[in-house]
Structure 1
Amino acid sequence: MSIPGSNVSIEGHAIVSVDGMIAAADGSMPPALRNEADWRIFQAALDAAVLVVLGRLGHERHPNPGRRRLVLTRSVQAFERDPGDSLTQLWNPAGIGIADVLARLGIEQGTVAVTGGTGTFDLFLPLYDRFVLSEVRELELPDGIACFSKGHPRLVLPGAGLEARDMELIDRGVLQTQWVRP
């Protein structure tokens, strides 16, 4: 339990290039970074989550009506409902902490899935109980957008206290590692 006083688990999800990038320099996700096996695993995790947390740009690029979402944005002072989607809340972490947000949403247990981008992944770094990292082993994205601002996830996650477990080749050239807090 990474959030004191709750039974909520925080779980990150990312697919990255071999150099640790989640997107090309222009913010787009190149077709070579998409993988069907990873997508199925990712969607199943989001279906099981009580809440999906992501940044504003990801929310705008990948609308997903039907899932409960928490969108990080500076466009609100603290916390308010998205006028365009009743299942989506807009959240400015500078105005209210995640424990208070979960309390307002009535979330006392379950898994919160964090899906990026960089600022969102960075914000939750000290809270992850688990991080599911898929790496496309033969793809480099020079000047791309990093998963974490501090470096490659394989270096950042251990620094945050997570350990690599259950490494599996989920598809040709795609390695998935479960990083867990011991």
Structure 2
Amino acid sequence: MLADARNVMPDDLKFEGDKAFFTAALDRADLILHGRNSYEDQPNSPRRKRVILTRKIAALASDPCNPKAILWNPAGASFEAACEHAGVAAGTVAVIGGPGVFGMFMDRYDTFWLSLAPHVRVPGGEPCFPGVPLRSPQDILAAHGLRAGEPQMLDKAHEVSVTPWRRNA
């Protein structure tokens, strides 16, 4: 689960090692793509180019609240058009968000970094992918052609790890 039933990430799911890994990955990305309920709260957040998914516009628009962001309705424009509108022709796109956003890109990920906090339970929470909890996140990633790499420990005391799931070449 990514969040509780109110779509809020509980403090039980927040670990410094995971936060540092996440922040560093976003700092390396050329573009951040996320849904309307996702947000960042790091010092570099305002400097990052981003695409925000929304149904409140027809296709593409500048975000009136953030000069580094554009709004994108996938029903009205392609992902490639959204990237072009954001001024990004190549590079790394970091997709953050919930199951709807992650699900849209399942067949396009080069790498998906799956963090696990095995001792935390969020009953009735927001799953990471469509189909969870009927299937595990690992089964869903594998079904979309991704294979698990070597996990990295992010917080030894709480056994929090992150595993790269990469597409076969």
Q: How many residues in Structure 1 have an aligned counterpart in Structure 2?
A: 161
Q: Aligned with 1:43: secondary structure?
A: helix
Deviating beyond 2 angstroms after TM superposition, the runs of 4 or more aligned structure 1 residues are: 61-64, 103-106
Q: Report SS of the residue matched to 1:134.
A: strand
Q: How does 1:1-182 map to 2 (within 5 A)?
A: 21-59=1-39, 64-151=45-132, 152-172=136-156, 173-182=159-168
- Give the drift of 1:105: 2.8
Q: What stretches of structure 2 of length at least 5 have no aligned partner?
A: none
Shift of 1:66: 1.7
Which amino acid in 2 is paired with 1:135?
A: L
Mean Cα deviation higher: 105-114 or 132-141: 105-114
Identical amino acids, percent of aligned pairs: 39
Deviations 1:137-175 (A, max 9, x none): 101111100000122321110011000002122212202
8 A contact 2:70–2:86 mirrored in 1? no
TM-score (norm 2): 0.90
1:33 corresponds to which letter in structure 2?
A: L
How far off its partner does 1:103 sit?
2.5
TM-score by length of 1: 0.84
| Greater RCO (CA < 8 Å, at least 6 residues apart) | 1
What CA RMSD, in Å, does the superposition of the two structures yield over aligned residues?
1.5
Question: Which structure has greater strand proportion?
Answer: 1
Letter in 1 for 2:53: L
Shift of 1:62: 5.1
